[in-house]
Amino acid sequence: MIRTMTEFDFIRRIAARFAALPANGFEGIGDDCAVLPVDDGEALLFTSDLLTEGVHFLRAATSARELGRKSLAVNLSDVAAMGGRPVATLLSLSLPTDAAGDWAEEFMQGYYESSERFGVALVGGDTTRSESGIVIDVTAIGRADAARIKRRSDARAGDTVFVAGELGASGAGLRDILAGRYDTPLAAVHRNPQPQVAEGLWLGAKPEVHAMMDLSDGLASDIRHILERSHCGAVLDTERIPCAAGADTRLAACGGEDYKLLLTADSAHAERLATDFLKEFGEPLYPVGYITAGSELVWHENGRPVEPHWQGFLHF
């Protein structure tokens, strides 16, 4: 979900405060998922994502079925981002009266399709009436080999920074939707995010992959989480950002909800990793820069430092 600075700040303060409580075996706030080691080297992963009507979607601009698929997809993307396999979800729905009948049935149809596609069980949740808009909250549970979990905190100086797909299509689609053009191919991309579950599992199994997360707020914003948690800097090349058809560099760097994986990998193995990934998935890993021992995010354009005018967040 695209966040504002205020939200980041609020979450940061909550995390700092609740750190005083017993962890009960969990690695908590700071990564795409919370981690709980269980048995025989396995761990469980937990993540929640809210979708609120009027903020994350307009009922007129998306079908209930698409939204059902998306509600699951954005959570599975968080599990994939740590190299985990999603296994189950809990779904909470707050529905106004005019969405309680057909709309809810179609939403569940989409949710079922995504659950089936990714082999995920629905194990709980809650349903209530809403006096205002639709609110959807999904908690996803994943499993992973504890030794192979990818975190935001494991980037190392010298690592190559990759994105696992073209960027900006979702942001361009959102731009279309906000302009009232719901029927464009880009708008359809925005409404139908594809979580990189197989890709995340594959990358999770590679020891040369160090840090990983999914791109929900945009590369220019999300990379900062890796840098902050890994105590390092990065040089990223604007001209190497892979722009999806219909998107420009600004949208590719700052548009949210692409749900492609962002990762850093040992540069000695980076080329081989990218080749193997292409062989496996038919799409390359795109190198966009490298991790530095500093603490700054530096953008380069054709080898020279620049200060892109789109630094920070993109607001429509």
List of residues contacting its own copies (CB under 8 A): 1, 3-4, 6-7, 10-11, 14, 17-18, 21-29, 33-34, 36, 38-40, 44, 46-50, 52-56, 87-88, 90-94, 100, 104, 108, 112, 115-116, 119-133, 135, 137, 139, 141
Q: Tell me, letter by letter, the H, E, C secondary structure of 71-114.
A: HHHHHHHHHHCCCCEEEEEEEEEEECHHHCCHHHHHHHHHHHHH
Q: Is residue 306 within 8 Å of 300, Cβ to Cβ?
A: yes
Nearer to its own copies, 18 or 280 (CB): 18
Q: How far is the CB of 221 from its own copies (least distance, A)?
A: 16
Q: Which two tokens stand for residue 229?
A: 């948690």
Distance CA 290, CA 227 (A): 11
Helix and strand numbers, DSSP H then E, in the chain: 9, 12
Minimal distance, residue 313 CB to its own copies, in Å:
14
Q: How far is the CB of 40 from its own copies (least distance, A)?
A: 7
**Which tokens belong to 316?**
């429509």
When the beta carbons of 180 and 303 are compared against its own copies, the nearer one is 180
Q: In whole angstroms, what is the distance from residue 9 CA to residue 267 CA?
A: 33
Taking the complex as a whole, the smallest distance from the CB of residue 107 to its own copies amounts, in Å, to: 10
Residue whose CB is less far from its own copies, 124 or 185: 124
**Nearest distance, CB of residue 47 and its own copies, angstroms:** 6
Residue 304 burial (10 A CB sphere; 0-12, 13-18, 19+): exposed
**Between 14 and 278, whose beta carbon lies closer to its own copies?**
14
Instruction: Please choose, from the candidates 258, 47, 269, the residue with its C-alpha nearest in 3D space to the C-alpha of residue 156.
Output: 269
DSSP reduced 3-state for 284: coil
Complex with its own copies: residue 102 or 271, whichever CB lies closer? 102
CB of 284 to its own copies, least distance (A): 31
130 vs 192, beta carbon nearer its own copies: 130
